[in-house]
Chains A and B, each alone.
Chain A
Amino acid sequence: MSAEPLLTVDRVSVHFRAGGNLLTGVSLVRAVEGVSFTLQQGETLSIVGESGSGKSTLARAILRLVPVTKGSLHYRGENLVTLSQDQMRPRRRMMQMVFQDPIASLSPRRTVEQIIEEPLRVHFPDLDRAERAQRVAETMDAIGLLPDMRNRYPHEFSGGQAQRIGIARALIVEPELLVADEPVSALDVSIQAQVLNLLAEIKQARSLSLLFISHDLSVVQHVSDNLMVLYLGHVMEVGPAGTIYSRPQNPYTQALLSAVPRMDFSADRPKRTRLTGDLPSPTLEHVGCPFASRCPRAQALCSTDKPVLTPVDGREVACHFPGS
């Protein structure tokens, strides 16, 4: 763990200009606000938060698919933010992504083989047809796709199979880092476990580092080493997954966790905290804690001072009044 981290994200913000007509003017969506974390090689970090909390935007920012407004991203010590897209291209082999909507993430008029081999064409242009076909066949086999699926089109597959195709496409260039943005959210519950197990297996077998994004804490429970909770683009709590699961300190984490069905009937099990109200507009700039408007524990201080991440009980929490 003392080695240089694979990925260091330092105070990254991503703002979008949104809407904006003559009357309202341009408003700024603060999708990600000053997020910092590190990811060690071989580690799985899960990023959780309600829909709209900026998880996908953070993932896209790390892969330089959306412009980073502030902050830096160091991959193996190299700052990605200052690279041009051309300089970024060769580095993309190392960091591949799996998407939320498995079918929509596959080009509808290309065959499975064409889809899976595309990253090879980008990163290994010297391979000939037969070599590419060989690599595609090996990868499909490793992911549990049948050879005769090669010439079929995405719309012929179920969500689970389509997601396997997406995973095969990501793995064919043997990346070090896999960013999985809600890879099972669109799947039937019965299929979710299969795909999660597949991800866990290949992570083990290929010693991948994994950024695993989900809005559902029960999904990440079994795959994560570390856990990061996002709310309106802010990190609310980050640390070892087990620690956070058993003793959440931030009221927002507690609210998320209490939505997870668990087999825990002991007397000291966490009390249920319900999230009430809607997510506030992401265009607001927060002077205080972004969660203050919905927090059961909020006090005057919370709406005037923004809490910073502070070590508490083996993890870091951004809360003026942490506690379980």
Chain B
Amino acid sequence: MSLLNRTNNEAALEAAVTTLQSRSLTQLAITRFLRNRVAVGASIVLLILVALAVFAPVFELLTGYPMEFQDRDFYSGKPPNWEAQHYLGTDYNGRDILVRTMFGMRISMMVALVAATVALVIGISYGAISGLAGGMVDTIMMRILDLLYSFPLTLIAVIALAYFGRNIMIVFVIIGLVEWQLMARVIRGQVLSLRNAEFIEAARATGVRPFGILVRHIVPNVTGVAIVYMTLIIPEVILVESFLGYLGLGVQEPDTSLGVLISEGANAIEQKPWMTYGPGIFLVVLLMALNFLGDGLRDAFDPKDR
């Protein structure tokens, strides 16, 4: 009887061990990611920045200066003054730069998120269709991308902004429409290599419909890459928005973005350098955190490591 018990226990133990060992590729990727200190550090920094942006109004309370408030005593740009609680100084209109930087970061992040989502959705659909269809359809779709690539898209963005008015949603969407191309190319490449994979052929051989193949076998295998490229697209979007802001085509006063703030400061970089410090540092930290996060994710999802 004790013998019987023992084997039972052993079987139970074995089952428990196998469940423990049974980890999906996603779980493996997460484990790998967590072991990457730089990437984890970057995510923490990013979380803090997001929290700062989300709670930007708190800074209005802390400093006592609402976003749009023009401090008469600090007109035409004054350096940081801790007693007056202008920790990063003021701009030409006497507005507090720290508060505006937080609100600017909020807008920059929103632009980035909306635009990156637009890029993700269009990019995945376009890339997956192109890669799956193959042949002539694929060739034509890729030529269209080449054509778009050779277009001065920033110019188109400028024209569209002039035409539709400077609406922030339009900025979101236009940047998204520009940035989806890289995503589409990457996804198409992935799909092309997946298309001839044996497990896809196995699905076809058993009669799975093309839509089922797309949803059950292709999409789960490209989401990792898509997430990685999304983190790489976001900094790009922030930069494009900054550039538009620099051209005076970004968000409209009194709203602001990191790009707009930096371009305001850049005009007076010699006399009033503090105007760029705050937004500049936050932009750099934000971009770096995103880049390290993207790298970490790419390593974690690297198919070669399977």
Contacts and interface: CB of A to CB of B under 8 A. Distances in A.
Given A118-B206, A156-B22, A109 B198 contact: no
Interface string A191-218: 0000000000000000000000000000
Interface of A: prevailing SS: loop
Contacts of B25: 108-109, 153, 155
Interface string A104-133: 111111110000001100110000000000
Interface in A247-288: none
Contact of A96 (B23, B24, B26, B205): B205
B18 interface: yes
A135 interface: no
Contacts of A30: none
Contacts of A119: 206-207
A153 to B, nearest CB: 5
Nearest to B200: A107
Contacts of B199: 104-108
A109 B22 CA distance: 12
Contacts of B206: 92, 96-97, 118-119, 122-123, 169, 173
A107 B18 contact: no
A118 B208 contact: yes
B21 interface: yes
Interface of B: prevailing SS: helix
B204 interface: yes
Given A118-B203, A118-B208, 10 more contacts: A63-B205, A88-B207, A92-B205, A92-B206, A104-B199, A107-B199, A107-B216, A109-B25, A152-B22, A156-B22
A51 B31 CA distance: 40
B62 interface: no
A181 B77 CA distance: 76
B1 interface: no
A148 interface: yes
Contact of B22 (A96, A118, A151, A169): A151
B254 interface: no
